[in-house]
């Protein structure tokens, strides 16, 4: 494999699987899927990148050195918002910016 290839990477963490898609500068597509790791979602993120890098024929370090852009999706967060199963959180804003983020639950 050419040592000067550049990559764009997308990683989506879902409740069951973490998916990675890697596209090189010729348009070749590589995909990986690993189990998500709910106790530490970063572990599944790295595992998926590592598997994707191996499919490209590189170590994760070499893949990341040649990566121009990483897009990160969080389906697991969308699911938590929709099911309202996430932790209760608060938002502190400065005066005059109270409506910057307005979410109404009833």
Extents of the domains making up the chain:
7-83
H-only helix segments in the chain: 41-56, 60-65, 75-83
Confidence of residue 103 (pLDDT cuts 50, 70, 90): low
Confidence of residue 106 (pLDDT cuts 50, 70, 90): very low
pLDDT for 89: 77
Does 3.30.420 match the CATH number of domain 7-83?
Answer: yes
Confidence of residue 104 (pLDDT cuts 50, 70, 90): low
Residue 50 and residue 43 in contact, taking contact as beta carbons nearer than 8 Å: no
Report pTM: 0.76
pLDDT digits (tens, 9 = 90+) for 43-91: 999 999 999 999 999 999 999 999 999 999 989 888 887 888 877 877 7
């Amino acid at each position: 494999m050419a040592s000067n290839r550049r990559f764009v990477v997308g990683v989506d963490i879902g409740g069951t699987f973490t998916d990675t898609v890697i596209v090189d500068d010729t348009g070749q597509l590589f995909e990986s899927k690993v189990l998500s790791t709910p106790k530490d979602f970063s572990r599944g993120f790295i595992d998926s990148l590592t598997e994707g890098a191996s499919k490209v024929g590189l170590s994760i370090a070499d893949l990341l050195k040649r990566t121009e852009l990483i897009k990160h999706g969080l389906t697991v967060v969308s699911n938590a918002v929709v099911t309202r199963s996430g932790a209760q959180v608060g938002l502190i804003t400065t005066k005059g910016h109270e409506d910057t983020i307005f979410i109404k639950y009833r």
